Structure 1
Amino acid sequence: MEKNPINPTDDDARALARDLIGAARFGALGVIDPDTGSPMVSRVAVVPDQAGLPMSLVSDLSHHTKALKADPRCSLLLGEPGDKGDPLTHPRITLMATAQFIRHGDPEHEKLAAQFLHHQPKAKLYIGFADFQILRYDISAAHLNGGFGKAFVLTPDDLAPTR
C-alpha cells in the first residue's frame, strides 16, 4: 500500500502557512487566459490584509485582470526560495481562490488601500489611478509545502488568524 504524502494538518503547518502569507510581498498569480483557455502566470505584488489574508493591487490594463474578470478562479503561489541550497526545500504555499475586486468608492477600498500602502509604500504613485483596484483572494483551499516531506492540505479556517 502506497503511503499518503500529505501529512495531517497541525498547528505548526497552520502557523507556517500564516507566516508565508504575512511575509509575502509578491507572488505568482495563476489565471486562465480567456483568449486561449490556457493557464497563465504573472507576478503580482501581495500584502496581508487586516485578517492576515493576501491581497494585491491590479490594473484593468493588465492581462491577468482581464483574465480574472472573465473567470475569477485563480491560484497564488507564495514563498521565497532563499539564497542557499536547493530552492525546492524552502517552504511555499499555493492558495486556490476566487478573485474579488474592490474598486475606488467601495466601502472597504480606503481601508484596504491604506493597508496595502503600509506594506508597499511605492504604490502611492499609482494606487489612486482609476484603472487600479484592490484584488482580494477568497480562498477555498491551500497546499503547503513546508520542505522535504512536509506537505499539507489546508482549509480557509486553517489560515484564519489565531485569537
Structure 2
Amino acid sequence: MTETNPFRTVDAEVRALARRLIEEASFAALAVTQPDTGTPSVTRIALTTDPDGAPLSLVSTLSAHTAALVANPACALLVGEPEDRGDPLTHPRLTLHVTAELVPRDAPGHAALRDHYLSQRPKAKLYIDFGDFHLLRFRVTDALMNGGFGKAYHLTASDLAPARSQRG
C-alpha cells in the first residue's frame, strides 16, 4: 500500500487563517486524558489569547479537565466554528497540540495577565478571584488545520506566531 501525504504546503494565507481562528475564538474544545482511566475526554472552555498571542483560559481546579491537565499537561484545543449555512465540514477548523501551564497567582506578571484576561472576558470578573480559579496558558507545539474539503495543513509553532506588527 502506498502512503500519501495529505498535507498541503503552508503559506502566508494559511498562517493568517490559522492566526485568525485562534484570535477570534471565544471558546474551544479541550481534549485531555483522564488520569485514572486513560480515557480521552473533551470539554468546552472559554478562550482568548495572552498579550503574546498564546491561547489563554481560566479554569477551576474543581473540574475534571483541570485535574487531568495537572496529571498530564499534554492536550489539544479545537477552534473554529461553522457558519450558519452550508456543510459544517467545509468550514475551517484548527487543532492545536499544546502543553497546558497553570499560572500561579504569585507568578511575576500574574496581575497583568489577569487584567488582560478580564479585558477580553469581562464577565469572568464574577469568579476570576475565587480560590479554585486559575489562569491557564497553552504553549503550542504544532497544529493541524482543515481549511475545508481537501485542504489539510500541518503547522509548526512558528507558523502560528503572530506577526510582530500584530503584537500589542
Shorter-chain TM-score above 0.5: yes
Corresponding residue number in structure 1 for 2:89: 88
After superposition, the CA RMSD in angstroms is 1.1
Q: Give the whole-Å Cα distance in 2 for the aligned partners of 1:74 and 1:148.
A: 25
Partner deviation per Cα, 1:26-69 (whole Å, 9 max, x = no partner): 00000000111010000000001111221110010010000001
**SS at structure 2 position matched to 1:7:** coil
How many residues end up aligned between the 2 structures? 163
What fraction of aligned residue pairs are identical, expressed as a percent?
55
Q: Distance in 2 between matches of 1:20 and 1:38?
A: 28
How far residue 103 of structure 1 moved from its aligned partner, in angstroms, is 2.1
Q: TM-score, normalized by length of structure 1?
A: 0.96
**Cα deviation 1:98-137 (Å, max 9, x = unaligned):** 1111021211211111121111110000001121111111
Tell me the SS of whatever aligns to 1:67.
helix
Summarize deviations over 1:127-152 as a string: whole Å, max 9, x none.
01121111111111100111112111
For the pair 1:28 / 2:29, whether they are aligned, the reply is yes
User: Structure 1 CA distance, aligned partners of 2:125 and 2:74?
Assistant: 28
The amino acid of 1:32's aligned partner reads T
Which residue of structure 2 aligns with residue 44 of structure 1? 45
TM-score relative to the length of structure 2 = 0.93
Alignment of 1:57-96 (within 5 A): 57-96=58-97
CA shift for structure 1 position 4? 2.6
> Secondary structure of 1:6's match?
coil
Alpha carbons 2:55, 2:139 under 8 Å: kept: no
Say if 1:93 and 1:145, in contact at 8 Å, map to a contact too: yes
Alignment of 1:119-138 (within 5 A): 119-138=120-139
Deviation beyond 6 Å, 4+ runs, structure 1: none
Q: Secondary structure at the match of 1:107?
A: coil
